[in-house]
Amino acid sequence: MTQVAAPGVGRTDAPTTERVSHWIGGQSVAGTSGRDGPVYDPATGRLARYVDFASTVEVAAAVAAARAAFPAWRATSLSKRTDIMFRIRNLVEAHRHELAAHLTAEHGKVPSDALGEIARGLENLEFACSLPTLLKGGFTEQASTGVDVYQIRQPLGVVAGITPFNFPAMVPMWMFATAIATGNTFILKPSEKDPSASNYLAELLKEAGAPAGVFNVVHGDKVAVDAILEHPDIAAVSFVGSTPIARYIYETGTKAGKRVQALGGAKNHMLVLPDADIDMAADAAISAGYGSAGERCMAVATIVAVGSVGDPLVAAIKARLPQVKVGPGNDPTAQMGPLVTRQHRDKVASYLDSGPAQGATVVADGREHPLYRESEGFFLGASLIDHVTPAMDAYRDEIFGPVLTVMRVETYEAAIKLINDNPYGNGTAIFTRDGGAARRFQFEVNAGMVGINVPIPVPVAYYSFGGWKSSLFGDLHMYGPEGIQFYTQAKVVTARWPDPGTSKIDLGFPRTR
């Protein structure tokens, strides 16, 4: 994480006066901490603007605004809240190109990819529009004589979301759509690398009629995150990011008495059996490995080729690599943009050295791409490393870039052992024509999201998203039905309306019979 001591100190970039400020109580609020961070245009490598970093004081101001808004918001009728959710959905849809432009400018993803991200976020807003149905509780009439029992779900209060750089619009929508629709008020702490999309969303929510304080944005680094984790008026924290930070968020947040769901990193395996359609598997590997420059937590990171399928599959993937057009977002033919920062690009590229040094074979080296060598942007071409083994850094680390690895195993049993031994368990996929093998894989594999001939099995919004093992800390997955559970608490009411004059004292234990 980039930490900058004070505005302007030690910087060599061309100066800029553009700033991204916080959004508190329905308006933009300039930072007062004296700390900020640089935001780059990954396609040019140039410093584009600064983002204010919140201190505990600014986080407390956001919590106060959210707390003040909560009583009226939770008391707002479901039909009115649904109306606002519909308006938010429609405004995001209507302004998707403007929102996508923020993603391209700061994350670097090409417009088609940015629009795809927004489309997946919109699904969550659409799901949230059906909240009145989803919030329906249960009712038991005559549990005892003249006694009815019913369950309702109520919001938690002020809840917070801390989000990663790689989906600056979709992951916030995963969280806030359900959180505010269920009656909570929300504080978003987005990634400091691409902060502008959050403020743009805040403006759309305001235009849609969300009352001031229902949705707030505080920008910043660990200082802001720790202030969220420690604030006694925040009831729950949703987090998406890398595993070490997810673990820290879960441990610190739960210790402070909060409800926490913390989604971490991934190493997603794509198992290809010898009977698979090679062309289909190769196309899938290209899309899932290099889409969004490999900066997706559900990206295929490694292909596990079983038996004889390895050589033809690697040849088919290699043959397709020239079709992956790398370029900036303003090039309409570009399919894969730059990486988010120079530091990250260089770390990703380093596996092209450590891989062969540890015995792997580099089939394609993205550093040979002209944009890697000639551009100031953070580009790296599509790269492929074959004969990777579990001991190598290229397998042990989450690379999170356009470096796809291939591992060779002899049997299905060896493949499933490899996948299940991995500390991550986010997504995985099998490519085969054998329904029995696919069903066995679905039964045996230790991962939260499984694709059968589908390389990136991100659940639709009416299911929930979450991994296993070190890919998720907490009990409940993100969005969908489990998201509703996460952002609400159950209350069970036992009620009786006796006729006046029938009351009597009974010191016995309450009975239902």
Name which position in 80, 97, 222, 433 contacts ligand NAD (CB under 6 A).
Answer: 222
Report in angstroms how near the CB of residue 247 gets to ligand NAD at its nearest: 10
Q: Is 370 exposed, middle or buried (0-12, 13-18, 19+ CB in 10 A)?
A: exposed
241 binds ligand NAD (CB under 6 A): yes
> Which one of 120-128, 161-169, 328-336, 486-494 is the stretch in contact with ligand NAD (CB under 6 A)?
161-169
178 binds ligand NAD (CB under 6 A): no
198 binds ligand NAD (CB under 6 A): no
Per-residue DSSP letter, 465: B
For 241, list phi and psi in degrees, rounded to 5: 175, -155
Rounded to the nearest 10 degrees, how much is the dihedral formed by the CA atoms of 101, 191, 171, 96?
Answer: -10
> Which one of 29-37, 58-66, 238-246, 271-279 is the stretch in contact with ligand NAD (CB under 6 A)?
238-246
The token duo for 412 is: 């299905």
One-letter amino acid at 403 equals V
Buried b (16+ CB within 10 A) or exposed e, 149-177: beeebebbbbbbbbbbbbbbbbbbbbbbb
Does the annotation count 297 as an active-site position? yes
Q: Is 428 exposed, middle or buried (0-12, 13-18, 19+ CB in 10 A)?
A: buried
245 binds ligand NAD (CB under 6 A): yes
> Which one of 259-267, 283-291, 490-498, 504-512 is the stretch in contact with ligand NAD (CB under 6 A)?
259-267
The Cβ of residue 404 has, within 10 Å, a number of other Cβ atoms equal to: 28
Q: Which is nearer to ligand NAD, 386 or 398 (CB)?
A: 398
Give Cα 299 distance to the centre of its chain: 12
Distance CA 248, CA 116 (A): 31
Contact between residue 284 and residue 270 where contact means Cβ atoms under 8 Å apart: yes
Per-residue DSSP letter, 10: T
Contact between residue 198 and residue 96 where contact means Cβ atoms under 8 Å apart: no
Name which position in 39, 91, 218, 266 contacts ligand NAD (CB under 6 A).
Answer: 266
List the beta strands (DSSP E) in 200-353: 215-217, 234-240, 259-263, 268-272, 300-306
Report in angstroms how near the CB of residue 212 gets to ligand NAD at its nearest: 24
> Which one of 4-12, 198-206, 219-227, 428-436 is the stretch in contact with ligand NAD (CB under 6 A)?
219-227
Report in angstroms how near the CB of residue 445 gets to ligand NAD at its nearest: 17
Positive or negative torsion for Cα 20, 23, 29, 33: negative
| Residue corresponding to tokens 């290809």 | 272
Give Cα 341 distance to the centre of its chain: 19
Candidate list 297, 314, 340, 456, residue with the active-site label: 297
The token duo for 434 is: 């054998």
Which residues, 424 to 443, sit near ligand NAD by CB under 6 A? Answer: 426
Per-residue DSSP letter, 368: G
Q: Which is nearer to ligand NAD, 162 or 406 (CB)?
A: 162
Give the CA diameter of the chain.
90
> Which one of 32-40, 102-110, 134-142, 157-165 is the stretch in contact with ligand NAD (CB under 6 A)?
157-165
Q: Is 294 exposed, middle or buried (0-12, 13-18, 19+ CB in 10 A)?
A: buried
| Residue corresponding to tokens 């038996």 | 307
**Quick one: which of 113, 403, 108, 146 has its CA closest to 267?**
403
Q: Which is nearer to ligand NAD, 106 or 398 (CB)?
A: 398
236 binds ligand NAD (CB under 6 A): no
422 binds ligand NAD (CB under 6 A): no
Q: Which is nearer to ligand NAD, 78 or 223 (CB)?
A: 223
Window 301-340: contact mask with ligand NAD (x via CB under 6 A)? ----------------------------------------
Q: Which residue is nearest to ligand NAD (CB)?
A: 241
Report in angstroms how near the CB of residue 137 gets to ligand NAD at its nearest: 29
Name which position in 66, 91, 118, 162 contacts ligand NAD (CB under 6 A).
Answer: 162
One-letter amino acid at 46 equals R
Name which position in 41, 52, 123, 398 contacts ligand NAD (CB under 6 A).
Answer: 398
Report in angstroms how near the CB of residue 340 gets to ligand NAD at its nearest: 8
Name which position in 82, 166, 238, 470 contacts ligand NAD (CB under 6 A).
Answer: 166
Q: Which is nearer to ligand NAD, 87 or 267 (CB)?
A: 267
Name which position in 265, 327, 355, 451 contacts ligand NAD (CB under 6 A).
Answer: 265
Report in angstroms how near the CB of residue 72 gets to ligand NAD at its nearest: 29
Which residues, 267 to 306, sit near ligand NAD by CB under 6 A? Answer: 297
Distance CA 169, CA 435 (A): 37
Name which position in 24, 225, 237, 364 contacts ligand NAD (CB under 6 A).
Answer: 225
Catalytic residues: 297
Chain residues in the site for ligand NAD (CB under 6 A): 1, 162-167, 189, 191-192, 221-222, 225, 240-242, 245, 263-266, 297, 398, 400, 426, 467, 471
